[in-house]
Chain A
Amino acid sequence: MDDRSSLQNIIECLIFISKHPLTIQEISEFLKDVEKKEITAALDELQKRWEDMGRSFVLGSVAEGYQFRTRPEYSQYIVEFNKEIKKFRLSKAALEVLAIVAYKQPVTKIEVEKIRGVDCSSSVSILLERRFIEIAGRKEVPGKPFLYRTTNLFLETFGLKDLKDLPTVKEIEKIKEDFKEPE
């Protein structure tokens, strides 16, 4: 076996046993003698190989790391086979709060409520419990409210590489310009 494929295999088995998406940082801390460049190249090659093999799972890039994940087309078999499996569930309201936190972080609960026009306390506590968001500190305003931000588990759950990987939202155009004078 040549060096290149054995490096790939070593990295592959580390990812395979890892509980969380394994980062390049973690791999290179372990493989001290290998250059980061080489690790990145090996990871790219690994991803391509798994993709090309057309298996039921792929090597995904999520939460700034690498993780083996099943392809979405097999979800029905998985859920049917294991009825006890913990399924993802989130209300529309909680998903809205999560989206606002994701795009505006760090953000306070009051700021989220201002955007949604409704009380968001229960959604915020559900998201905290599920560890999709966490406290990022306090805002230096009267009352020092908590600031919230999203977690790595959020990125992992939604299959996002990092926060820049969030779907782009259309920016609000300058309203004043578009605003028509009433007749």
Chain B
Amino acid sequence: MTDITPPKDPSRLSLALQSDFVYQFKRSPVAVVSFAITLILVLGAVFAPLIAPYNPFDPASLNLMNGFSRPMTPNAFTGDSFWLGTDDQGRDVFSTILYGMRISLFVGAAAVAFAMVLGITLGLLAGYVGGWTETIIMRIADVQLTFPSILVAMLIFGVAKGVTPVEYRDQMAIWVLIIAIGLSDWVQFARVVRGATLVEKNKEYVAAAKLIGRTGPAIMVRHILPNVLSPVLVIATISLALAIIAEATLSFLGVGAPPTQPSLGTLIRIGQGFLFSGEWWILLFPAVTLLALALSVNLLGDWLRDALNPRLR
């Protein structure tokens, strides 16, 4: 038998750059633009302390005289100029947006991660084990689906707030928010993973894995999980946009991020009080940022769904 020597393996990076996935991405203007916007916003949030001209959380740096400065116009009293103006307390709106986005993105990403871990675990269990386990998990999911998720999140948030001691409330608020949004969002992960697991578990490679003596958990994690991940990726992206909006909604309603750690939703809540007194910029700029963030992440998720599903091409 002759040995065939294949050409030297190309590096992983060059393989990735030549993949269908990257090719599809480059050919889709929507994907490129929304990816660029997402990237800029995320980088802005991550490097907020370096980019922001002011630290809006440092009371010492605030000057009440700077309050209600118009965008790009020098303040009447101090002569300071702010790109996007200031709010009632003289905080630079641009800086608060950057810091607010940090909290919005962190809460959104952590909530999705939490929902994902919970949903994947329960979905795999339901799909693979079946029987009573499946019935119990999926009926809980069905019941939860009958309530609007924002209501579920508010319920969890309210209960959690009730049981945490007053002095920790502000510190815990962010984590409670993450758990509340995560718990209201695990159902779709569980449903999709369960469905995909039902398909995969009847394939012969799973029988083969059983045959070599792998235990149930090992088969679920090593063999089934990687094969059900691509729909999960799509849902995770779209869920991220939804989680950011959910967080903003909760914060807007005053039950989310506290004013000491304002997220985009908190900023919008603060801003709406000034809309009709003429200080439109306090509301408009955080709102536009939230819109851009949620929309671009959502469009990216849509594109990802099409790109990962060859049948939709």
Asked if A and B bind, the verdict is no
Which residues does A use to contact B, with CB under 8 Å? none
Which residues does B use to contact A, with CB under 8 Å? none
